[in-house]
Chain A
């Protein structure tokens, strides 16, 4: 970060010793008076000041530590100019994920590089076959992530999930907790310049995550309520009273009122093996 106090201090220092240290040219300061003089020096293009930058290089290699430190401390204004070795080094050290570190979801997350061995063959095709036939035309523009209200407050990155699915990184993508931060609001899908059915992809990938056991207890509970009552949010005594108070039947004319209808729902849930997916025990009525 640029800080006013540091800057003036450095400037003074620079002025005191103009000759012995050629990299700290006072003259250069005049060109960009508002920047930290040391950074300006380091970033100067040879073409602009050939005479002065020649000795600059030498001097730099003599004082690498100091240089690197400065570069680290300083926000670099122009990244594309002259990739001096030390500067690159300093950049790499700058922890890009610092801001996200504070988010709980990132804790304990592996940062290892993914390799070919992480690819699950046919995962991409499986996602496509399951209904996301638009997956393969993604060109990674990032509009989805930019539009995502969840990505603004969590480590959830839609573009990454689409990319990883496209690459076949199944294990990586289904174990990622942030996969569940999507509210299925469709902001990404509405803006996708390729018309990719992004929410479908998220849901299909979540299906694979669920098959592998990555399911939240609270979600399984909602599933178990439907198995038991036919409703994800079943009636309670307070609402029964409220319904009665406005002249409605205490029970709505749903599976709540028709037990044979509930049996139908239960048969379907058994047929699709949803009960075993969430580990529902029919005898105890609890989750295993």
Chain B
């Protein structure tokens, strides 16, 4: 098994521990991740999709052609990239006229979108291709954490096009999280958006933070040790955004944030430094201290 590994922006350029954890994890699982050399921003669906859909589709299609040249399906670990690439791939696959239009643009750089590969999300690959049993075997350090799973918006939705799981009451991430030994705790409005998407974070931070505060409130209410996400942008929103919420509202939230890849990293014995959670704005220490209770701090 091998995938064309699409990095995007926020993971590799802000939270490299997610990338590191993924590379190590996939090596252990025996899955090859091949770099998509020269890939760019997906591009950011909030800004590019809103400003000019033709541009958004052209840049996304260019990224997909890199994977087509490699003859591999694309894997991304970001809901935003997944949304941007999946939707474009889906559209150009179905709409011959639009495909022709985009290919006319791509011909300027000697590329052609053919529609030969799939765009896949990291979490879905783990669930469908690797399987929970294999993942369980790979867990060396079971995690005794109670966590709030945050699905984000563009992993499962629009469900009519993606069709991975029930968009209202999904279980895919909860099942993946619980394989590590962690417990997924239900909380109010679990499926609600973090508030960052659609360009809102850069357009109106106050409104974005109002979303985030509501989510944090509901997570606190449920008494969780950490937030688990599958999107570096949601990840950034819960990490950086959490400090911004504290500053704006005078609150004192301190819920550690882990991307699913980082959670698996911990469950496979990686250190906090390996997965760069020590560089997060919100300290991961409370969660790590709880882990030490069972591992004896090893």
Interface residues of A (CB under 8 A from B): 130-131, 149-150, 153-154, 180-187, 189-190, 195, 197, 199, 203-204, 206-207, 210, 215-216, 218-219, 221-223, 226, 230-236, 238-239, 242-243, 245-248, 252-258, 260-262, 264-265, 267-269, 271-272, 274, 277-278
Structural contact, A252 and B58, CB atoms closer than 8 A: no
A selection of 13 A-B contacts at a CB cut-off of 8 Å is A150-B211, A180-B203, A184-B83, A185-B193, A186-B157, A230-B40, A236-B13, A243-B12, A248-B19, A254-B12, A269-B55, A274-B51, A277-B51
Given A186-B158, A252-B13, are A232 and B44 also a contact pair (CB < 8 Å)? yes
Question: Smallest distance from the beta carbon of A103 to chain B beta carbons, Å?
Answer: 10
User: Do B207 and A181 have beta carbons less than 8 Å apart?
Assistant: yes
Is A131's CB under 8 angstroms from B53's CB? yes
**CA distance in complex: A140, B261 (Å):** 42
The 4 closest A-B pairs by CB, nearest first: A261-B38, A186-B157, A185-B193, A218-B202
Q: How far, in angstroms, from A261 to B7 measured CA to CA in the complex?
A: 15
Q: How many Å lie between the Cα of A150 and that of B199 in the bound state?
A: 13
Given A131-B53, A268-B106: A222 in contact with B202 (beta carbons within 8 A): yes
Q: A223-B48, A231-B9, A252-B7 are in contact. Are A184 and B14 (CB under 8 A)?
A: no
CA distance A261 to B276 in the complex (A): 28
Chain A: CB-nearest residue to B106: A268
| A234–B191 CA distance with the chains assembled, in angstroms | 29
Contact status B51-A215, CB under 8 Å? yes
B130 CB to closest chain A CB, in angstroms?
Answer: 23
CA distance A204 to B158 in the complex (A): 16
Q: Contacts A235-B13, A242-B16, A246-B273 known; A206 to B50 CB distance under 8 Å? A: yes
Nearest-neighbour CB distance to chain A for B82, whole angstroms, equals 13
Q: Known: A216-B203, A232-B47, A242-B279. Contact between A264 and B109, CB under 8 A?
A: yes
B203 to chain A, nearest CB (A): 5
Instruction: State which of A149, A180, A243, A246 has its C-beta within 8 Å of the C-beta of B193.
Output: A149
- Chain B 23-78 residues near chain A, CB threshold 8 A: 35-41, 43-55, 58-59, 62
CB closest residue in chain A, given B233: A233
Complex Cα gap A253–B83 (Å):
22
**Cβ contact of A264, chosen from B7, B38, B49, B276, cutoff 8 A:** B38
Nearest A residue to B168 via CB reads A190
Option from B36, B52, B153 in Cβ contact (under 8 Å) with A272 = B52
Whether the Cβ atoms of B40 and A255 lie closer than 8 Å is yes
In whole angstroms, what is the CA distance A181 to B49 when docked?
14
Contact B207 A153 (CB under 8 A): yes
Expressed in whole angstroms, the Cα–Cα distance for A207 and B49 within the complex equals 8
Answer whether residue B139 sits at the interface, using C-beta atoms and an 8 A cutoff: no
* Closest B residue, CB atoms, query A254: B39
**A223 x B47 contact (CB < 8 A):** yes
Check if B17 is an interface residue, CB within 8 A of chain A: yes
- CA distance in complex: A199, B198 (Å): 10
A207 to B196, CA, bound (A): 20
> What residue in chain A is nearest B42 (Cβ atoms)?
A232
Given the complex, which residues of B lie within 8 Å of A269, measured CB to CB? 55, 59
For residue A272, which residues in chain B have a CB less than 8 angstroms away from its CB?
52, 54-55, 58, 105
Q: Establish whether residues A203 and B207, one from each chain, have CB atoms under 8 Å apart when the complex forms.
A: no
Which of B49, B55, B192, B193 gathers most chain A CB within 10 Å? Answer: B55
The residues of A that contact B106 with a CB separation of less than 8 Å are: 268
Beyond A149-B193, A149-B195, A226-B40, 15 extra complex contacts between A and B, CB < 8 Å: A150-B200, A181-B207, A183-B200, A206-B51, A219-B47, A219-B203, A233-B41, A235-B13, A239-B13, A243-B12, A252-B19, A253-B7, A253-B36, A267-B108, A274-B52
Residue B197 at the chain A interface, CB threshold 8 Å:
yes
Chain A residue numbers with a CB within 8 Å of B44 are 222, 226, 232
- The answer to whether A149 and B192 touch across the interface, beta carbons within 8 angstroms, is yes
Enumerate chain A residues within 8 angstroms of B35, measured Cβ to Cβ: 253
User: Which residues from B are CB-within-8-Å of A268?
Assistant: 55, 58-59, 62, 105-106, 108-109
CB neighbours (8 Å) of A181 from chain B are 200, 204, 207
A254 vs B63: C-alpha distance when bound (angstroms):
10
Which residues from chain A contact B46 at a C-beta distance below 8 Å?
A: 184, 219
Contact A278 B51 (CB under 8 A): yes
Residue from the list B20, B47, B108, B153 in contact with A246, Cβ < 8 A:
B20
User: Which of A248, A253, A278 is in CB contact (< 8 Å) with B37?
Assistant: A253
Shortest Cβ distance from residue A238 to the other chain B in the assembled complex, whole angstroms: 8
Kindly supply a per-residue 1/0 record for chain B positions 232-256, scoring 1 wherever the CB is within 8 Å of any chain A CB and 0 otherwise. 0000000000000000000000000
